[in-house]
């Protein structure tokens, strides 16, 4: 059963080949067996099995949602009523959520079973899942390597077959980059497509939730449940939600694939480039054609992002002060001392770094020089994409400039770490949908991800293009050595 996709497990549940309880037990046992990966922060077997039992009862009544009874792991950034919700931080290490995020509510309504809360970079700040208070997550393809971040726990869990699928969040590439490094399909929808209510904020104008799964078909099934307008989220867009599975098999003959020259320049690992070129050749065989496009401001996306995202983080994280919930320092003299000591003890180094950068960028005398200028550049980056889509339907390129790197390799060089997101950050700045799919392996047998970028709310096309590619390739079916038992 661990080899089956979400779609295949859904069919097996309906044919009564296995029950939801049996399926949940199977994955709970694997979570315990491979706990050295450190993919999960919180597991509650009793709660999970209780949900599975309720799902079996729904299945007995012929439940019509394809996800009923399917176990899914939740990134520990989504509030879930009664579950410890930590955001990978010490400052929330005792916070039990009193309500559900909209995404969690929608999964519950569909009869999805929660396997637990997955490990993540602290407050989603990181590209390697090394900043979590709960320790480093290991890549199932090589435990000495990072799985990518910040949704590294979710990616490691799905790659190692500890869960059929998982949720993630993407502020600058945190779904797509770990999906690429772990040989998975990861989708960042258009900004506003999925509600952010109950999803603990890092950078409010950039954060977006999305699915991590093995196939585009599975991602479509999850997106069908997750997408939709939410009046509780002021950034949610009231846009019709299609059935993303209906267009998966559409012909892509004549599809115009835009290749940005900026994505195939200095800094891209030659082995990664070779894999991406081979993947694009497969699309040519399917009838698509390549056109050259340019995104001239994309090279400035990283400095732009690392002004705007920390600025928003500085504001969002000010609520964590020990006064209302979460950690509170034990020894302090007055209110200000409590604030200072609580935040000093509760936040990790990377979170502190970004809060300080953001506070500086927003301070008097520097706002115009940094924050305002970055906002103007953000608009130019979005305009680059608009012009590119005048001549193409989908933009393709690498998800990450390299394959997975060693744990600790870039910990002392924040800039080198930030550059891992050079191909993913622009889509967040523009609010566009982006999808990473498995495209092959390098000489060390490490996965390479191909990124697809679409027009606003064009997730259905991205999933269709990815699905057609996965019908003629088998990269997405590869399993890390030692995890096929």
pLDDT along the chain (485 residues), means of 10: 96 96 98 98 98 96 91 98 98 97 98 98 96 98 97 98 98 98 98 98 97 98 98 96 97 98 92 97 97 96 96 96 93 95 96 96 91 96 98 98 96 88 97 98 98 98 98 97 89
Q: How far apart are CA 98 and CA 118, in angstroms?
A: 19
Q: Where are the domains of the chain?
A: 1-485
Helix H, strand E, coil C: the string for 114-169 is EEEEECCCHHHCCCCCCCCCCCCCCECCECCECCCCCCHHHHHHHHCCCCCCEEEE
Kindly provide the b/e burial profile for residues 273-290, where b requires at least 16 CB atoms within 10 angstroms of the residue's own CB.
bebbeebbebbeeeebeb
C-alpha distances (whole Å) from 218 to each of 9, 69, 112, 295, 393 are 10, 14, 14, 31, 23
Model pLDDT, residue 372: 95
Q: How far apart are CA 234 and CA 379, in angstroms?
A: 21
How many CA atoms lie less than 13 Å away from 477 in the CB half-sphere?
9
Tokens matching residue 4: 């089956």
Q: How far apart are CA 180 and CA 167, in angstroms?
A: 15
CB distance 23 to 71 below 8 Å: yes
Can you tell me whether residue 101 is helix, strand or coil?
coil
Can you tell me whether residue 19 is helix, strand or coil?
coil
**In the CATH hierarchy, which fold is given to the domain comprising 1-485?**
Amidase signature (AS) enzymes (3.90.1300)
Task: Return the active site residues.
Answer: 75, 150, 174
């Amino acid at each position: 059963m661990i080899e089956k996709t979400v779609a295949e497990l859904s069919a097996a549940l309906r044919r009564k080949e296995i029950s939801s309880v049996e399926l949940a037990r199977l994955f709970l046992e694997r979570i315990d067996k491979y706990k050295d990966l450190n993919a999960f922060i919180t597991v509650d077997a009793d709660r999970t099995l209780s949900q599975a039992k309720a799902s079996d009862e729904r299945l007995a009544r012929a439940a019509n949602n394809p996800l009923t009874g399917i176990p899914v792991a939740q990134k520990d950034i989504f509030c879930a009523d009664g579950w410890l919700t930590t955001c990978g931080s010490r400052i929330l290490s005792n916070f039990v959520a009193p309500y559900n995020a909209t995404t969690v509510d929608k999964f519950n309504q569909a009869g999805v079973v929660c396997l637990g809360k997955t490990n993540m970079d602290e407050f989603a700040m990181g590209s390697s899942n090394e900043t979590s208070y709960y320790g480093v997550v290991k890549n199932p393809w090589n435990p000495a390597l990072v799985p990518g971040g910040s949704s590294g726990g979710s990616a490691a869990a799905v790659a190692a077959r500890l869960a059929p699928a998982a949720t993630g969040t993407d502020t600058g590439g945190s779904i797509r980059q770990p999906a690429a490094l772990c040989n998975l399909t990861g989708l960042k929808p258009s900004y506003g497509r999925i509600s952010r209510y109950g999803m603990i904020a890092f950078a409010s104008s950039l954060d977006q939730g999305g699915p991590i799964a093995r196939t585009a078909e599975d991602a479509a099934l999850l997106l069908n449940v997750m997408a939709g307008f939410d009046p509780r989220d002021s950034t949610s867009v009231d846009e019709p939600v299609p059935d993303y599975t209906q267009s998966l098999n559409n012909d892509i003959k004549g599809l115009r694939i835009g290749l940005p020259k900026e994505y195939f320049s200095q800094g891209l690992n030659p082995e990664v480039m070779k894999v991406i070129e081979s993947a694009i050749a497969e699309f040519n065989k399917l009838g698509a054609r390549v056109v050259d496009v340019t995104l001239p401001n994309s090279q400035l996306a990283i400095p732009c992002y690392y002004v705007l995202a920390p600025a928003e983080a500085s504001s969002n994280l000010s609520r964590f002060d020990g006064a209302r919930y979460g950690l509170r320092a034990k020894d302090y003299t007055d209110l200000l001392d409590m604030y200072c000591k609580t935040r000093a003890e509760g936040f990790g180094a990377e979170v502190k770094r970004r809060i300080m950068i953001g506070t500086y960028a927003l301070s008097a005398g520097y706002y115009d020089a940094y924050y305002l200028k970055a906002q103007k550049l953000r608009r130019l980056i979005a305009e680059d994409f608009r012009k590119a889509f005048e001549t193409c339907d989908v933009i393709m390129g690498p998800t990450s400039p390299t394959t997975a790197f060693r744990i600790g390799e870039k910990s002392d060089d924040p800039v080198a770490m930030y550059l891992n997101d050079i191909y993913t950050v622009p889509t967040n700045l523009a609010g566009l949908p982006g999808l990473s799919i498995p495209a092959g392996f390098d000489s060390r047998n490490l996965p390479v991800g191909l990124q697809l970028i679409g027009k606003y709310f064009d997730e259905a096309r991205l999933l269709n293009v990815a699905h057609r590619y996965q019908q003629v390739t088998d990269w997405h079916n590869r399993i890390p050595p030692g995890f096929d038992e």
